[in-house]
Every structure is written in structure tokens, then in C-alpha cells.
Structure 1
């Protein structure tokens, strides 16, 4: 009988036709069915990148907020009048000027474009970085080094941001921070899931989302402790630990074994598997393993975001799907990234409202897990977008604080859930050969919503809340309706190639047959 694992056999002769097990099967055999401590610690350490990522994404909620102010017992001063229409000596900030960039650099009367520019430049940096750095993890640097590079650029720029001398230096540094941050989440997720067996990949992926929520939650905690202190301290408290974290990943985390093998680094591939393998499997990783590793070749097709775009644009059905799902993603991203930044526009306590928004991501993840197997994707996305949009508009029309925070939380919770469902929907809409790149493009559309969100928040702060939350709500309502142009994918088989997918699309168009998506 032929040895089912000839690559790992010490004595059996090789099969005549060198039919070695697949790369997935071999890695699975070496790592083992059970999650070892080495795998768990490394995957958890990698997933913790999401913690620092969330801090830099939402830090502007506190550093760029307009501080509270009071009248100086002057008859010319009225809290209901626009601050810019009052004499300078009739009012004053409730905290020192260094509490926010708005008060320190006297931006209270600057236009919404200027005050919203720092946050917008961060997301624009994410947008540019997503295109420029998209291929590094798959090509020259690998998952680990790309994660370390991205994390270092993001955190070191955060430290430099704390010494910004004016708004323009601040904007430039926020752009660079966003540029570096663009691949942190993607590299962290991919590397963490490739360091464990397939049985544990879903659970390890959830660890990253939990770390992101914890990072979001840490911001109101830091801001509350530093209330009345300089906004620069918030950047230092969040960025310096991230610098040390980057070095921890570099020295203590192994590279993805799959990437190492695909790149021909077979000795490192073997060493990595030995270091993270289950103890009861290490005895089988002998010299025979090393020698046969050099003979084993696997056919791989590296598809980066640029070549994938050419493939997607060549097919009319694929480009149409991508365009539609990106429109939906833009509407969801506008609320997901913009709503937390606009909490200061509502008549609510900023620390409490940010904490509640961060906490709402926990039930959103649970709800997505329960929802995704029971409801159609189109119905789910459409319903969540409608609910989020209606509540977003309603929360600026009502004046009761309890109702207002309730509507805002429902809107943000719905957007968080829609965010997760849209990404899963995108995975199912495209075949394996372009799936990763299609998801990357949809994430870019989500970030584009983050670029425009801060400008709308600043406009709503100066004029009317409808310019922020109203526009958020209408946008997600309109964009969400585009989902009706997409095919349903629930309980449908996933395709691997464009040809397989196109064949099913043609069959479906001809006789309404079942296609895979």
C-alpha cells in the first residue's frame, strides 16, 4: 500500500510518479489537528496588530474634536450663536488650548474642509497605500515583513505627529500614517490564519476582530485619563507601544510556511514547520522531509491586485459585479468610519458615546455569525443598509438624548454588521483566482467612504447635523439598494476559475439554472 504521506515517510520508497500530497495537506499534517501553544501565541501576537490599527483609525475622534467653551459673563455672548460670530473676548475654552488641534491652532472658524482634512488625509493615505503596498505581502517581502513595515511606518509617524508644529505638517503626517496602515489588517489576518491548521482559521480570524474592538475601546479610556492634557499625549500613548510591538513581531513570529514554500525558500519552510509543529508530529520531520521538500514542486498562480483588475475588467459580468459591490461598500464605509468621528456633533457625552459605539462591534460580530447562515445575502445587506440609513437621519431630527443615542447606536450597529456581510458576500461573488484582489478593491471602496466622512462631519459641526448624519443616512440608503443588481450566493458552490464562473453565469442566463458565485 502506498504511504498516504510519502513526503514525511522515513523509509518507504517514493511513489513512481512522485504524486506528493498537496501543500495544504502537508502543512496540515505537520501542524497537527490540535492547536499548540506555539501556534496560539504567535497567531495571537500577530492578531494584536488590529488593536493598534483601531487606535490610529479612530484617534481623530478625540484629538480633532472641538472642545467645549463657555461665555465670559458677557451680554454679547450666547451659546446658541455660532462661535465665529462672537467677539473673541466674550468666550473662552473650558480646557487648556492644547486639548485639541482645533483650539491649539485656532481652527474653530476654519472651513469644514480644513478641520476635516487631517482625518480625510489619513483615509486617503490608506487608499493610496492599499494600491501601492497591495502586492508586497504576496511578492517580495512576505506577510511578516510587510506587517512589520506597515506597523512601523504607522507607529513611528504617530510619534512624529505628536510634535507637529502646524495643521499642514499634521495633515502630511496623518497621510503617511494612513499609507503605512493600509496593509496592517490584511497582513495580520492572512499571517495569523496561515500559522494554524484549517480547523482553527475561523477562530483565529475572530481574535483579530476582537482586538480591533479592544483598540477602539481603549481610546475613550486614554482620552478620559488625559482629559485637559495635550492631544499630543494621546498619540504618544498609542504610538510608542506600537513601535515596540513591531519589533516583537519581527523577532518572535515566524513567516507563513505557505509563502516560504511558494517562493522556493524550502529550508526556511521546513524550519518553520518544525518550530510550530505539534510535538507528536516533530519526530516525522526528518532529513527525509528536507530532501523531498527540494524535489516537490507545486504549480501556483500569483495574482496581484493589478493583474486581477485586468482579468476582472475583461469580463463584463465580473466588472459589473465589482462595480456594484464597491458602490455598496462605499455607502457602508461612509457610516462605519464617519459616524464615530461625528459623535461630537450630537448633544451627547463624547466618552460615553464612543465607548458604546466600540462595544456595539462585539454583538455585531456575533449577529453576523448567526445571520450569515440563515438569511440571503442580498436581503441582509439591503435590510441593514435601510435600517442604518433611517436611524442615521432620525438621530439628528430628534432632540431627546436617550432616543438620539439609541438611534445612533442602532445605525452604527447595522453598519458594522453590513460591513462584515458585504465582505463575506464579496468572497462568494468571485472565483478563487481573483477573490483576494476583489475583496481588496471592495475594502478600498469602504476606505473611500472614510475619506469623505470627516469633511461631512466638519460641515455638520459648523452648520447643521443633517450635513453629516443626514448625508450618511441618505448615502447608505441609496448605495445599499444597488445590491439588488447582484446575484444571490447563499448555499451556492464556490468556483475556482473565471471559466467555471462564466460557464455557470451563462447557464443561469439561458435557463435560470443554479450557478456558483
Structure 2
């Protein structure tokens, strides 16, 4: 009887055999990449909208960076007195025998007399802007990995760019102008780091490469738009205002619709917030995440011991690991060489003696098919061969450009060589962002990308000084940088079809498996 009573009172709703995927094993634990592939979709409506809105920041960076081409240009001179026609330069001409076309307010060169003995000041202010970018990339690379996050850092950057750009238009003299451009560089340097990572981290592994290559369409479009804006606002002061207002608009209109990266939430110990982003993503994409799914980082040990406090990393961790240390060193060298060529060719349009607005537009347009071709070949040939090939392509045409004369048809051919050089190096510059993101885990990704971006800015710092050294010498420098940078690419590992790791331990274990496979 006792046994019958027990049988009679047994909870008939309790299954006799537990399903293997329920109480016996607990919730299904997935990394971000696994969840994107299995439940959310790798690139659906949510990712497309988020990608476009975030990548608009690249166009704003193009405004703040390339505005110097027009603001610091040397206008044409107009002869008003005897002897002016016989002198190719304004140096040595008597006062009153010439004047600037467009008046002294057409550029900083005309307003503050940055010619002859003061010509170096043009390169100096441009170099200081890129020096600010170098520092800013490191600062915001760290902040976006730590306390501020990707979205918070991008908001502060755009606000600073808008305010500083408008203040630059009010600069009373060269010294204040230089200071404001340096401060603008501090904020501008973080745009690429934050916008690129924020745009690509929520995208699945099989779509991330092509999407990442597409971010640079926005930068090139920004340059093309800037040439039109500069043509309309030919006063350098009004140009700074016109190119800065869009950053303020971006903060108020676009930023509220951008989401923080779920990867950042996860490694910071905010698994609940990360899951909320993933659920919203799945909903917009027309999918559903089951209730018994849990997000985890790819380092299971760290996940068990640091589940509530989060996992943190810094540049020190990158340098401690033999794997990431070598990768960082090579990425720095390649990006340094790439930046000298890319920014050098962009600024070198002032030496080509062609229509400035048209030349800048053509350079921007030339970049776009480069992005398309590299995006098509990215997953077919891999990151490593493409990096080497695009750098050498640019180096060869820079070599040809160095052989061209400065008159007649040679001048046109030299301009074409410059455009093709931009074509190759724009593809490299774009590719290197994707390559760098894939070389380092989430916990230190922005710190590493910030360091690599700093190296790019060091190259950009040197570019203006190379440009002011004549017409042929810059092409020689660009040739050497393109060829040498391609050689360094041979020593980087291929990252095609490899997972995007979250932690240092997860990466080291994963790389060991790949190398032993």
C-alpha cells in the first residue's frame, strides 16, 4: 500500500526521462558568431540598417581630414604690375604687382602668406593634425574597449569634431589655427577605430569581410562630396563651417538609432544587455532566439570564473602574447607604409597643376572600384595575397609617375599614375582594417586597432612634408613604401574563414587547433 500511495501521488506532469537538451545539460551556450549563424542571421535587415547608419561617420571623417586640401591650397595669382609674368613664383615679386585670385580669404595660404620662406607652415599644420589623429586613435581605441564603449566614444568624437571645426573657422591667426587643427585631429583619429568596429562586430563571419570593405565607400563618397562643397564655399572659413555642421546633425539624427556592440557588452560582463541586442536583431531579421540559449565568450574558463565582472584586456596583453606581438609589429609597419602613400597621393594633387576640384573628385571616384574589386577577391584569394598585391600595384604606378615630366601630355599621364596609385592603395587601406580586426580578439581589438591606426597617422604626419619637396621626389618615396609594405605582408598569417575570437586565451587555443589541423 505505501508504494501504491506513492505511485498514486506522483506528479504525472513530470517526465520519466529528461530530454538531453533540457535540465540534464542546462541552457545552450553559444558565442556571438555561433548565435549569428544559428539564430539571428549573419547579415539581415538589422545589420544592414546598423551598418549604413554607423558607416556614415566615415564620410564625416573625410570632411574633417581632407578639408585641408582646399583650405590650405595655394590659389592662383593674378598679375597687376610689370615683371609679374616673368616669375614662376611669388617670391621676389614687388608688393602690388600681383594678387591672389579669390582674394586673401580664399585660403589660409593667401590670408597668412604661407609661401616662400613660410611654405613649410602648410606642411606643419597638416602634420600636426595627423599627429593629433595618432594620439586620438590610441585614446579612443582604449576608451571604446573599456568604459565608453564603441557608441559612446563615437558620440563624443563627432560632437568634438563639429564644435572644433566651427571654431577653426574663427581662428584669428596661424597659431590658433594650428592649435585647433591639432585638437580636431585628436577627435578625428578615433572615428575609423570606433565606426569600423561598431559597424562590423554584429555581422556574421562569412559576411564580415565584404561588409568591412564596404565601409570605405562612405569615406570616398565623403571626399567626393567635399570637392563639391569646397567648390560652392570657396572661402576657407565658410568651408570649415559647411564641413563641420554635418557632424552635429549626425549626433542628433543618426546616433540615437545606433546600437552598442553586443560583443563589447559581453566582454564587459553585461550578458543581459548583449542578449537584448541579439534578440532585437533576430526579431528585425524575422527570426527567433529560443529561451534556453545563453551567450558566452569563447574562453570557457574565463566565462566560468569572471562571468559577472567581465573580461578586460589592454595593449600590454597584446605585447605579452608572442602571437599578437608579432602581428601587431607587422601590422604597424604595413599601415605606416600604406598611409604615407595614400595620404601623400591625396595631398599631392596640389603639385599636379591640374584642376584641383576635378582631381580630388577623380581620386575619390577611383577609390570606389578598388573597394569593389577587393571585396570580390577578398574571400576568393584571402587577406594576405590581396594585401601584398594591392600595395605592389600602387608601388608600380608610383614608380611610373616618378618618371613623368611636368609639362604637356606628361603632366596628364602623371596625374593618371597618381589616380591608379590611389586606386591600389585605397584597396589596401580598406583591407587592412578588416585584416587587423581579424588578427586580434574582441577584448583587445580596439586597443590593437587604435595602435595600428596610430602607425597610420605617423605615416600621414610624414606625408605633407614629402609633398612639399617637389613634384618627382614624392612619387619616389611612395614607390619605396608600396614595395616594402608589400614585402612585410608575407609574414602575416591568413585569417580567411577563421573565427573572430573574443579573448586572448580563446585565440591562443583556437590558433593552436588551426595550426595543428
From 398, 409, 422, the equivalent of 1:389 is 398
CA 32–499 in structure 1, closer or farther in 2 if over 3 Å, else same: closer
From 465, 471, 474, the equivalent of 1:465 is 471
Write the distance in 2 (CA, Å) between the matches of 1:187 and 1:346.
34
Match of 1:49 in 2: 57
Cα displacement string for residues 20-55 of structure 1 (whole angstroms, at most 9, x for unaligned residues): 33344346556346613x543333211111110111
CA 241–382 in structure 1, closer or farther in 2 if over 3 Å, else same: closer
Match of 2:221 in 1: 214
**Structure label with greater radius of gyration:** 2
Match of 1:345 in 2: 351
Alignment pair present for 1:404 and 2:414: yes
Report the 3-state secondary structure (helix = DSSP H, G, I; strand = E; otherwise coil) of the residue aligned with 1:348.
coil
Matches within 5 A, 1:442-481: 442-457=452-467, 459-460=468-469, 464-481=470-487
From 241, 253, 269, the equivalent of 1:236 is 241
Write the distance in 1 (CA, Å) between the matches of 2:324 and 2:284.
46
Alignment pair present for 1:304 and 2:314: yes
Report the 3-state secondary structure (helix = DSSP H, G, I; strand = E; otherwise coil) of the residue aligned with 1:264.
coil
Matches within 5 A, 1:136-147: 136-147=143-154
From 179, 184, 188, the equivalent of 1:172 is 179
Shift of residue 159, structure 1, vs aligned partner:
1.2
Write the distance in 2 (CA, Å) between the matches of 1:487 and 1:289.
36
Alignment pair present for 1:264 and 2:269: yes
Alignment pair present for 1:380 and 2:389: yes
From 125, 128, 150, the equivalent of 2:157 is 150
CA 442–394 in structure 1, closer or farther in 2 if over 3 Å, else same: farther
Shift of residue 453, structure 1, vs aligned partner:
1.1
- Stretches of structure 2 lacking an aligned partner (at least 5 in a row): 1-16, 297-302
CA 393–480 in structure 1, closer or farther in 2 if over 3 Å, else same: farther
Match of 1:118 in 2: 125
For the 8 Å contact 1:382–1:483, the answer to whether it is kept is no
CA 395–411 in structure 1, closer or farther in 2 if over 3 Å, else same: farther
TM-score, normalised to structure 1's length?
0.81
For the 8 Å contact 1:381–1:422, the answer to whether it is kept is no
CA 404–80 in structure 1, closer or farther in 2 if over 3 Å, else same: farther
Relative contact order: is structure 1 or structure 2 higher (C-alpha 8 Å, sep ≥ 6)?
2
TM-score, normalised to structure 2's length?
0.81
From 71, 75, 82, the equivalent of 1:63 is 71
Farther off after superposition, 138-147 or 253-262: 253-262
Report the 3-state secondary structure (helix = DSSP H, G, I; strand = E; otherwise coil) of the residue aligned with 1:88.
coil
Alignment pair present for 1:365 and 2:371: yes
Report the 3-state secondary structure (helix = DSSP H, G, I; strand = E; otherwise coil) of the residue aligned with 1:215.
helix
Write the distance in 2 (CA, Å) between the matches of 1:212 and 1:119.
19
Write the distance in 2 (CA, Å) between the matches of 1:443 and 1:100.
29
Cα displacement string for residues 415-456 of structure 1 (whole angstroms, at most 9, x for unaligned residues): 223324445555676788766654443332222111111122
Write the distance in 1 (CA, Å) between the matches of 2:349 and 2:273.
49
Write the distance in 2 (CA, Å) between the matches of 1:231 and 1:218.
16
For the 8 Å contact 1:308–1:434, the answer to whether it is kept is yes
Write the distance in 1 (CA, Å) between the matches of 2:198 and 2:495.
27
Match of 2:361 in 1: 355
Farther off after superposition, 417-426 or 86-95: 417-426
Write the distance in 1 (CA, Å) between the matches of 2:18 and 2:209.
33
Report the 3-state secondary structure (helix = DSSP H, G, I; strand = E; otherwise coil) of the residue aligned with 2:381.
coil
Shift of residue 328, structure 1, vs aligned partner:
3.1
Shift of residue 374, structure 1, vs aligned partner:
3.4
CA 79–405 in structure 1, closer or farther in 2 if over 3 Å, else same: farther
Write the distance in 2 (CA, Å) between the matches of 1:3 and 1:244.
54
For the 8 Å contact 2:394–2:482, the answer to whether it is kept is yes
Match of 1:329 in 2: 335
